[in-house]
Amino acid sequence: MSIPGTEAVTAGLFNPAGGASTTTAQSADKSMFLQLLVAQLRYQDPLNPTDTSQFLSQTAQFNALEKMQEVADQTAQVLSTQMAFGAAGLVGQTVTYPGPDGNHVTGTVGSVTFGATGPVLDVDGTTVPLLEILGVGTPPVPSSTVPSSTVPSSTPDDHKTFTERTTTMLRSLNAGISGPRVNQTMLDVTGNNIANANTIGFKASSTVFQDTLSQMLTGAAGANAANGGRNPIQVGLGVQLAATSTNFNQGAAQTTGRATDLMIQGDGFFVVQKGTEQLYTRAGSFTFDETGTLVTPSGARVQGYALDAAGNRTGGLIDITLDTAGLGLPAGVELTSYNIGADGKLRGVFSDGVQRDMAQVAMADFNNPMGLEKVGETAFRASANSGAAQLGVAAEGRRGSLLGGAVEMSNVDLAAEFTNLILAQRGFQASSRVITTSDSVLEELVNIKR
C-alpha cells in the first residue's frame, strides 16, 4: 500500500543531497581546523618548537570526533526512517489517543502526513501527532461486564502502545552500557575493602545489583472459553546498583597488651564525640592525651558515664578522663595505675592499695546497623534508616562485652575479595562486548542503504 508522503520522506532521509548542509558544515569545520593547525605551526616559538606528536594527537582527536559525528548522523537517519515506516503501517488501524478533556479517544487512522516534528496521523478527521498515540487496537472489553465466552481473544500485537509495537534497535546497547557502570562500582567497593584489609575495626562492604525496568512487549492475558492464558513477554533494559551492604560480622582479635585498647565481643559500638557531632566506631585503639582524656587516634573523645561510690551510673554522657577530683580521696592518696574491665569500667589502683571505679565506657546499639553512614576514620554516623542510638554499657541488652588489651581487626576476607575482583572484571568485559556487538549490528543496518 502506498502512503502519500512516505516516499518523499524516505527519499529525503536517504538522499545524499539531503545531507548537503551537514556535509558543508563538516567541510567548513575541517577547513577551519587545518587553518588553525597551519597558523600554530607558522607562529610557534623558534626557540621552543612544538612537539610534532602534539599535532598528530590533535589530528587524531579531530578525526575521532568527526567519525563519532558521522555515526550519530547515521543513527538518527535510521531511527527517523524506522518511525516513518512504523507510522505508515498504522493506516487502517484503530488507535487510542488523549482527547482535549483528558479522556481517551479511539478512532481509525485514515492517512499519515510528515511534518517538521515527525509523523502526524489523521484519526477520523482529527490531527494527532504520532508520539501522542497511547495504544493500537480496539480496547479490550472488561471481563467483569461480559461473559468469558464472549471476550475476544487478543493477538500478540493487540493493545500495545506505539513504542511497544516498534522494536527498539538500541535496547541492547543501553543495557550493555549499564553493565560496565555497575561493575565499575563493584570494583571500587572491592578495591576499598582490600585497601583496608589491615585497618582496625573496619567493616567490609559489598554491592547488590538489581535489574532495571523491563519493557513490556506483550501483556499477560487470562484464559477464556476460546483460548488459554498467556504470560507476559518482557525484555530487560539493563542493571542498576541496588545497595552497598556493610558486613558487621566480628573481626579477628589482635592482642596489644595496652590497657587502653578495647575490643567489642558481640554487637555494639563505642560512642565518641568529635567536635559537636556524636559518632560511633568499632575501632578500640584508644589512648589518654595530655589532659588525661581518653581519645581515638584522630582526637575524638571517648564517651562514658560517671560512677558513684557504689559503682552505679550517674547522669548522662561525659568524657572519660583520669580526673580524680570527684572521688573524695584521702589526703596524699594518688592514682598509680588503671585498667578497663569487661564491663567497661575504668578502675584505678591508688597508692593506699584500694581500687576505685572512676568511669564506665558507654556503648551504643542500633536496630539497623547497616543503615549507618560511614564518615571516615573508621567511624559511623546515625542516619534516618539506622534508627536512634540505644545507649548503655557493655554486656547490657544486645551489647557485647569488652576485652581489654586487644583490638578488633578488619573483617575483610581477602580470598572472597579477589574472587569479587575477577567477577567484576569479567562482568565489565562481557558488558563491553555487548556494546561492541550492538555497534556492529547497528553499523550493518546503516550499511543496508549502500
Host H or E run for residue 236: strand 233-236
Stronger pLDDT, 416 or 46, i.e. the higher one = 416
Q: What percent of the chain has pLDDT over 90?
A: 48
Given a cut of 60, is residue 156 above it in pLDDT?
A: no
Question: Which amino acid makes up residue 254?
Answer: Q
pLDDT tier at 19, thresholds 50, 70, 90: very low
pLDDT for res 78? 65
User: To the nearest 5 percent, what fractions of the chain are helix, strand and coil?
Assistant: 35, 30, 35
Give the C-alpha separation, 158 to 140, whole Å.
Answer: 9
Give the C-alpha separation, 38 to 41, whole Å.
Answer: 5
Q: Which of 144-148, 275-279, 321-325 is the least confident region?
A: 144-148
Q: pLDDT tens across 390-443, in order?
A: 999 999 999 999 999 999 999 999 999 999 999 999 999 999 999 999 888 888
Q: pLDDT tens across 87-123, in order?
A: 777 788 888 888 888 788 888 888 888 776 778 888 8
Q: pLDDT tens across 209-254, in order?
A: 999 888 888 888 889 888 899 899 988 889 999 999 999 999 999 9
Q: pLDDT tens across 286-316, in order?
A: 999 999 999 999 999 999 999 988 889 999 9
Burial label for 262, CB within 10 Å (0-12, 13-18, 19+), is: buried
pLDDT tier at 48, thresholds 50, 70, 90: low
